[in-house]
Amino acid sequence: MIYIDGIVGVGKSTLAEILAKELNLSLYKEPVYDNPILEKFYYDKKKYSFPLQVFFLNKRLEMVKEAHKNGGGIFDRAIYCDKIFADILYKDGDLIEDEYNLYLELTKNMFENLPKPKVLVYLETTVDKAIEKIARRGREFEKNVDRKYWEELHGHYKKYFEEYSESTVIKINVDNRDFLNNREDVEYILNLVRGELCK
CB neighbour class for 77 (10 Å; exposed up to 12, middle 13-18, buried from 19): buried
| Residue 72 counted as an annotated binding residue | no
Catalytic residue among 76, 87, 94, 185: 76
In the residue annotation, 76 being an active-site residue is answered as yes
| Residue 82 counted as an annotated binding residue | yes
| Residue 168 counted as an annotated binding residue | no
CA–CA dist 119, 194 (Å, integer)? 10
Return the amino acid letter for 143.
Answer: K
Instruction: Answer positive or negative: Cα dihedral of 30, 31, 34, 39.
Output: negative
Return the amino acid letter for 51.
Answer: P
| Residue 174 counted as an annotated binding residue | no
Beta partners for 133? none
CB neighbour class for 94 (10 Å; exposed up to 12, middle 13-18, buried from 19): buried
| Residue 167 counted as an annotated binding residue | no
Write down the H helix ranges in 38-146. 38-43, 45-69, 82-91, 97-111, 127-137, 140-143
| Residue 93 counted as an annotated binding residue | no
Asked if 52 contacts 100 with a C-beta cutoff of 8 angstroms, the reply is no
| Residue 12 counted as an annotated binding residue | yes
| Residue 107 counted as an annotated binding residue | no
| Residue 6 counted as an annotated binding residue | yes
| Residue 42 counted as an annotated binding residue | yes
Annotated binding site for ATP: 6-14
Annotated binding site for substrate: 30, 42, 53, 77, 82, 142
Annotated binding site: 6-14, 30, 42, 53, 77, 82, 142
The residues that are catalytic are 76
